[in-house]
Amino acid sequence: MSMSRLLFTVQGVFVATLVILGGVVWLNATFADRIPLRTRIGLFPIGGLEKTRVLQALDLYELEFAQTKTTIELRGNRSTRTFEELGIRLNKEETAKKIQFLSGYRLHVQRQQIIPVLKFQDEIAHAVLQQDFANTLVVPENATLVLNADNTIRALPPKNGEHINMNSFRRDITEGFSRVSAKVISASVVQAVPEQNSVELEKTKLFAQSLIQNGLQLVVQDRIFQLPGRIVSGMMFFTHDAIPAVALDDAKLSAYIVEHIVKEVQQDPVNARFQMKDGKVDQFSLPQDGKAVNIEETLRETKKTLALRLQVAPLVMQIVSPLISDTGDSEKLGITKLLAVGETDFKGSPKNRTVNIGVGTSKYNGILIAPNEEFSFNAFLGPVNKEAGYLPELVIKNKTTTPEYGGGLCQVSTTAFRAAVFAGMQITSRRNHSYAVRYYGTPGFDATIYPPYTDFRFLNNSPGYILIQSKIEGTKLLFEFWGTDDNRVVVVDGPSPYGKMPDGAVKSVLKQTVTKDGATIVEDTFYSNYKSPNLFPHT
């Protein structure tokens, strides 16, 4: 090679070296604050990213990371879950430090894979995998108690089981992260030893035996309700926690309380009573709160009691407020007009019948019936016995006419029926007497009652409250219905008897038609079929 050619070659190499060094200097200057090219975290590219934007990029990557799926296999069974479902989180701060450390290596040509720093919530992953592989894993069993058919109790020993190996799970997730979207992780198990406490187990056993022998007490104020041991044993079972505990079946205990205790302690609330005075509604009887058993709270308190191995639990009561406690004002209640009057005459009634009519009539004076509420005669009547002030008088019962406490109360229900019909109420339940009774005049406009089987009911179909005023003037019984005038027109046709027989049997028909603004809102026909009085001899 000639000297000139050699010199030319050396100069070319020198120039090339300068260009390369210049390029390196330029690249170093250009990428001094950037992540090396071809750098990824998982499948997420971050090469060339400015260091100051690493955390911002990780915010976006975190969304992708949370929904990344992995498949776990155990004994041929598989479960595919997202990292979010497995409680695996991205530690953005520590991962950012790893990425920023790479910024010193500025000209990597090969691809670099960053393994992110992870946060594991073992309790979440463990619960999910135990559930997904429930049919594969051998579940540990704590020692427990069993109630035998003869009410003896025996203890079952604990059994070892197995759990997912969380150390292996964390390692496999971390090591295989770069291929996690396609990788199947083989889960392993470790032995799980159940908790054991033989002393506590024996205490629970003795407590259960005591319950079976002595029963359980539910106490409210100064009253004690004893649940016999045979009843308690029929409700009893044992929990399978680390320390077995006695428990009672909620449905069975609730049913027992309702059937045997509620009626003994429950008190219905009493609504305030009202009267019309100077054209306004005036309260004349104060409301009274009622009391009811709070079944749900009683069940909870019983569980707490049994957990403490005690045999006396509280019966929890709650206050029941009456529906109607004050008047507000008559306009607010909608009571502005006398809508209808029902009237009957009990002239000639024996003394006892007259007394019973007076006692029964007092039960209904001042009652308020809300709009769309169904009135039940029996619901307001209360007990019909000597203690309530009633005397024996004739009633129609079992194909006889025989004395019984409360005889004559049908005079009250019949009068209420007439007022409801005249007021245009929707009658929902009414039955005529077995034979025509002279106190009710023309047959066909009566309503018999016999609690709890036969009732008289109607629906308040008016826009406001109905206030009932019941009173006796001489031998006349009056029911006044006060309420809101909605321009309804009530037409009552009858009663019209027909088919009268020599033995006193007769039929009758009564029609009620109620219209409002030209539209019919009630159209009802009441048919009555009265048998011969001879079929119901006096006893």
Least-confidence region, from 165-169, 274-278, 418-422: 274-278
Look at residue 180 in the predicted model and tell me its pLDDT.
44
Structure tokens at 409: 């109360």
Which CATH number covers residue 280?
3.10.20.800
- The answer to the question of residue 10 being in a domain is no
User: Which one has a higher pLDDT value, 262 or 243?
Assistant: 262
Model confidence at 283, in pLDDT bands (50, 70, 90)? low
DSSP per position, 426-450: EEEE----SS--GGG-STTS----B
| 469-475 contacts at long range (C-beta below 8 A, 24 or more positions apart) | 469/275, 469/276, 469/365, 469/366, 470/361, 470/362, 470/364, 470/365, 470/412, 470/415, 470/416, 471/361, 471/365, 472/357, 472/358, 472/361, 475/345, 475/346, 475/347, 475/348, 475/349
Encoded amino acid at 318, one letter: Q
- The answer to the question of residue 449 being in a domain is yes
Look at residue 328 in the predicted model and tell me its pLDDT.
62
- The answer to the question of residue 457 being in a domain is yes
User: Which domain covers residue 305, as residue numbers?
Assistant: 199-320
Reference 413, options 391, 389, 437, 392; nearest CA is 437
Residue 398: DSSP 8-state: T
Per DSSP, the three-state class of 244 is coil
Whether residues 414 and 512 share a domain: the answer is yes
Reference 161, options 136, 182, 179; nearest CA is 136
Instruction: Give the pLDDT confidence of 398-430 residue by residue, as tens digits.
Output: 889 899 999 999 999 999 999 999 999 999 999
Domain limit, last residue, from 132, 164, 189:
132
* Strand ranges of the sheet holding 312-314, from the earlier edge strand across to the other edge: 223-227, 216-220, 312-314
Domain count for the chain, please give it.
Answer: 3
Q: What is the CA radius of gyration of the chain?
A: 44
Whether residues 305 and 349 share a domain: the answer is no
Across the range 226-246, mean pLDDT stands at 88
User: How many angstroms separate the CA atoms of 407 and 538, rounded?
Assistant: 13
Alpha helices in 312-350 (DSSP H): 330-333
Look at residue 108 in the predicted model and tell me its pLDDT.
47
Across the range 383-388, mean pLDDT stands at 93
Instruction: Give the pLDDT confidence of 3-42 residue by residue, as tens digits.
Output: 556 555 545 555 555 545 554 444 454 455 677 777 777 6
Domain limit, last residue, from 132, 161, 186:
132
User: How many angstroms separate the CA atoms of 490 and 508, rounded?
Assistant: 20
User: How many angstroms separate the CA atoms of 164 and 169, rounded?
Assistant: 8
Whether residues 382 and 493 share a domain: the answer is yes
The fraction of the chain above a pLDDT of 70, given in percent, is 86
Structure tokens at 374: 């169904």
Instruction: Give the pLDDT confidence of 450-500 residue by residue, as tens digits.
Output: 999 999 999 999 999 999 999 999 999 999 999 999 999 999 999 999 999
User: How many angstroms separate the CA atoms of 481 and 461, rounded?
Assistant: 13
Look at residue 40 in the predicted model and tell me its pLDDT.
73
Whether residues 309 and 435 share a domain: the answer is no
- Residue 293's Cβ-side half-sphere holds a number of Cα atoms within 13 Å equal to 24
- The answer to the question of residue 394 being in a domain is yes
- The answer to the question of residue 5 being in a domain is no
- The answer to the question of residue 155 being in a domain is no
User: How many angstroms separate the CA atoms of 304 and 315, rounded?
Assistant: 13
Look at residue 182 in the predicted model and tell me its pLDDT.
47
- The answer to the question of residue 158 being in a domain is no
Across the range 42-57, mean pLDDT stands at 74
Least-confidence region, from 13-17, 123-127, 264-268: 13-17
Structure tokens at 306: 């049994």
Instruction: Give the pLDDT confidence of 334-363 residue by residue, as tens digits.
Output: 788 899 999 999 999 999 999 999 999 999
Whether residues 360 and 221 share a domain: the answer is no
CB proximity list for 533: less than 8 A, separation 6 or greater = 401, 435, 436, 503, 504
Strand ranges inside 173-279, DSSP E: 184-186, 189-192, 216-220, 223-227, 236-238, 246-248, 273-277
Instruction: Give the pLDDT confidence of 510-530 residue by residue, as tens digits.
Output: 999 999 999 999 999 999 999
Model confidence at 305, in pLDDT bands (50, 70, 90)? very high
Domain limit, last residue, from 85, 108, 132:
132
> What is the residue-averaged pLDDT of the chain?
86
Whether residues 368 and 514 share a domain: the answer is yes
- Phi and psi at 221, nearest 5°, equal 50, -120
Which CATH number covers residue 30?
3.10.20
User: Which one has a higher pLDDT value, 155 or 207?
Assistant: 207
Whether residues 396 and 469 share a domain: the answer is yes
Model confidence at 256, in pLDDT bands (50, 70, 90)? very high
Encoded amino acid at 402, one letter: T
Whether residues 490 and 416 share a domain: the answer is yes
- Phi and psi at 51, nearest 5°, equal -60, -35
Structure tokens at 257: 């309380």
Please check the confidence at residue 105 and state whether its pLDDT lies above 60: no
- The answer to the question of residue 170 being in a domain is no
User: Which one has a higher pLDDT value, 311 or 185?
Assistant: 311
Residue with tokens 């309530």: 388
Whether residues 401 and 487 share a domain: the answer is yes
User: How many angstroms separate the CA atoms of 308 and 302, rounded?
Assistant: 10
Whether residues 315 and 361 share a domain: the answer is no
Whether residues 356 and 487 share a domain: the answer is yes
Least-confidence region, from 45-49, 72-76, 400-404, 526-530: 45-49
Please check the confidence at residue 114 and state whether its pLDDT lies above 90: no
Model confidence at 56, in pLDDT bands (50, 70, 90)? confident
Whether residues 208 and 243 share a domain: the answer is yes
Across the range 210-214, mean pLDDT stands at 95
